[in-house]
Amino acid sequence: MTDKTMTGKTVLITGASRGIGAAAAQVFADAGANLLLLARSGEAIAALAREIGPQARALPCDVSRADDMQKAVQTAQDTFGSVDVLIGNAGVIEPIAPLATSDPEAWGRAIDINLKGVYHGMRAAMPVMQAAGGGTILTVSSGAAHSALEGWSAYCASKAGAAMLTQSAHLEGAAHGLRVMGLSPGTVATQMQRAIKASGINPVSELDWSDHIPPDWPARALLWMCSAASDGYLGQEISLRDPDIRQRVGLI
């Protein structure tokens, strides 16, 4: 991407250490954005920030902690002067287990990250964006938000909640200039898919590696969602399984 459409814009990416988050960091950097990379694994995001260059900063962050996300938004303002885009990407698939034998602590941790983490990001960013007259909030969703899968009760429930949060943010933020959307990428060739494969539970674990799309596809879709070309989808969840969407993004 060489059009530099994001020059002067500041983008916060949660879960930026690997997978879709790391791919998005590269795609948005190529488009000229200033980046604040957020993840619990500080070494990984620091290395990615060094690779990208001075337009990227890394901040260790646990999205399940509201204070961490407030600090992240403040850091973006202090460092780059604005908060233009928030990408809520951080998520965990564990615990993969039957409801009847699931560990309550692990189950609750998934809710803390996948659901409350999205809320904490929105809660920190929305007042800043609304005061500035606009901004874009993108939530990385999943088909699991809408279809239950065996062994994935925590993931499905948390993703369904995050999808409702995204709709709520649109309803409340649109009048203040906020652009809010979800992206359901389908199955992506990331470390999460390796954990799913190893579990052997439900049909997703049976997919061949070649069935998964590369991480740069959802990353490029997220960039497209920051453009006026996606305005017809505000408040909605875009699916990369849709051939029309793939064509609009320029993936086919």
Q: Which residues are catalytic?
A: 155
Which token pair is 114?
Answer: 């996948």
Q: What φ, ψ does residue 205 adopt, rounded to 5°?
A: -70, -15
> Using CA atoms, how far apart are residues 56 and 155, in angstroms rounded to an integer?
30
Indicate the residue type of 50.
R
Q: Of 90, 79, 87, which Cα lies nearest the Cα of 34?
A: 79
Return the number of other C-beta atoms located less than 10 Å from residue 251's C-beta: 17
Indicate the residue type of 170.
H
Cβ neighbours of residue 178 closer than 8 Å, sequence gap 6 or more: 126, 129, 130, 134, 135, 136, 137, 169, 170
Q: Residue 95: is the preceding peptide bond cis (ω within 30°)?
A: yes
